Structure 1
Amino acid sequence: MEELKLHGFWPSSYSSRVTWALKLKGVEYEYIEENLSNKSELLLKYNPVHKKIPVLVHGGKPIAESLVILEYIEETWPKNPLLPTHAYDRAIARFWIQYGAAKGPFFFSVFRSSGEEQEKAAKEVLAVLKVLEEQGLGDKKFFGGDTINLVDIAYGWLPHWFETIQEVIGIKLLESTTCPRLYAWVNNFKEVPVIKENLPDPEKLLAHIKNIREKLVAEKTD
């Protein structure tokens, strides 16, 4: 087997996506923790365009961007598939993955803003969550049906990272009263063994996100 390495960063949900996929596939790899304040020469070499994590290096060849990496993992290790068999179902899965990627800026906006701007962003985020619940998840336990697939993994930041963001900003959007089916999915997702065993420490993550929020607020007041 060719050497496989993952360059990541412990609080990053993008890194976790890749970790979950590799572990669900049963693929062995070496994890390399990056310091994003002092990026390694290897990271800059492997991802010279964006200079970001995660980067998966397979046989010396780097693949960057988490969603691209997930597709690469699915194609390279077809055992334990994470996309549906039927072409139409795969297309629908990819649609919802792209929907989440396109709506990501709304979630960041509610995190970095305050006052009326934050209230507006919060309404936009709630609208996105409701579309995701009603049109994407529906009555299924997971986006993948009875088991998780790449869509669940792509939205895997909601159950842990977004929960922590809500705590930091003091706004509750993804709740049992607002999005009951999506809220149930959150709890089901966190109980999947591979997910549960590969989440960052909640207290460390809370401190990390608080620190980011404080820096954003300071920048706006300078």
Structure 2
Amino acid sequence: MAEELKLFRTWSSPFALRIVHALKIKGLEYETIFEDLSNKSDSLLQYNPIHKKVPVLVHNGKPICESLVILEYVDETWKQCPLLSRDPYEKAKARFWAKFGDDKLFSSIWNVFTTQGKEQEEPIAAAVQNLKLIEELLKEKKFFGGETIGYLDIAFGWTANIISILEEIMNLNFVDEEKFPLLSAWMQNFSNDPVIKECWPPRDKMIVKFQVMREKYLKTVVSQ
């Protein structure tokens, strides 16, 4: 019997895009169900009743939630084109830095995006420091895991897309070749990979979406 794979996502979610990248790299066929998070489907609420968000991967009727958890599930279930090292220490390091990316790096950059003027100074300093740590991971490497795209590249993949969009909206420059030569080169290598490149959401739509989000956040702060 053929395996059933369904991916619940939105068109713009960088976290859901991780799963798209992983499934494409693995060469797996799957059905995409696009969700409107302002009007969530009964299926999404059934499959992810705790967080009620995307992504959710449904494999033969069984739901797996949270993007980093899904990445590991995909890698353990389908062995072709491995994403994680089989070495326990290397695997643990990759998990650590992936969590760092979500808990520290993403939040620090988001704090810059949702502030302005002098209020941005502290978030910018924190974001730059976090980016420096990521830069260090790439010494003598094309990708975080070596010569091919792996788990940590996919986990950090949002940086290659979202950062430049936020930079354009705010007229700031977080990552340039002079300050972050390794990270800049990685972003190019990752973004230009044929599998990755075909999956990016439309840039113009992303800019409009995040512009609206920024204006909304700033208005909320002013009104408080």
Three-state SS of the structure 2 residue aligned to 1:120 is helix
Pairwise CA distance, 1:116: 2.0
Match status 1:212 vs 2:204: no
1:187 equivalent in structure 2: 188
Distance 1:98 1:82 in 2: 16
Matched with 2:97 is 96
Q: Secondary structure at the match of 1:31?
A: strand
SS at the partner of 1:53?
A: coil
Residue 3 of structure 1 is matched in structure 2 by: 4
Kindly provide the CA deviation profile for residues 3-29 of structure 1, in whole angstroms up to 9, marking residues without a partner as x. Answer: 110000011101110000001011111
In the alignment, which residue of structure 1 is the partner of 2:138?
A: 137
Q: 2:148 is matched with which residue?
A: 147
Calculate the TM-score normalised by the size of structure 2: 0.96
Runs of 4+ in 1 over 3 A off after TM superposition: none
C-alpha distance in 2 between matches for 1:102 and 1:33: 26
- Give me the whole-angstrom Cα distance separating, in 2, the residues matched to 1:85 and 1:58: 23
TM-score (norm 1): 0.96
Provide the rounded CA distance (Å) in 2 between the counterparts of 1:156 and 1:165: 15
Letter in 2 for 1:87: P
Q: Distance in 2 between matches of 1:62 and 1:53?
A: 11
Identify the range of structure 1 (110-119 vs 25-34) with the bigger mean alpha-carbon deviation.
110-119
Structure 2 gap ranges (5+): none
Which aligned pairs between 1:151-190 and structure 2 lie closer than 5 A?
151-190=152-191
Q: CA deviation at 1:2?
A: 2.5
> In structure 2, what is the Cα distance between the partners aligned to 1:184 and 1:215?
33
**TM-superposed deviation, 1:113:** 1.1
- Report SS of the residue matched to 2:33: strand
Aligned to 1:116: 118
Structure 2 Cα separation of the partners of residues 203 and 93 of structure 1: 32
SS of the residue aligned with 2:157?
coil
For 1:9, give the aligned amino acid: T
Deviation at 1:85, TM superposition (A): 2.6
In the alignment, residue 45 of structure 1 is paired with which amino acid? Q
Aligned-residue identity in percent: 47
Instruction: Say which SS state the counterpart of residue 118 (structure 1) adopts.
Output: helix
Shift of 1:102: 2.1
The aligned length equals 221
Q: 1:5 is matched by which residue type in structure 2?
A: K
Instruction: List gaps (5 residues or longer) in structure 1.
Output: none
1:70 aligns with 2:71: yes
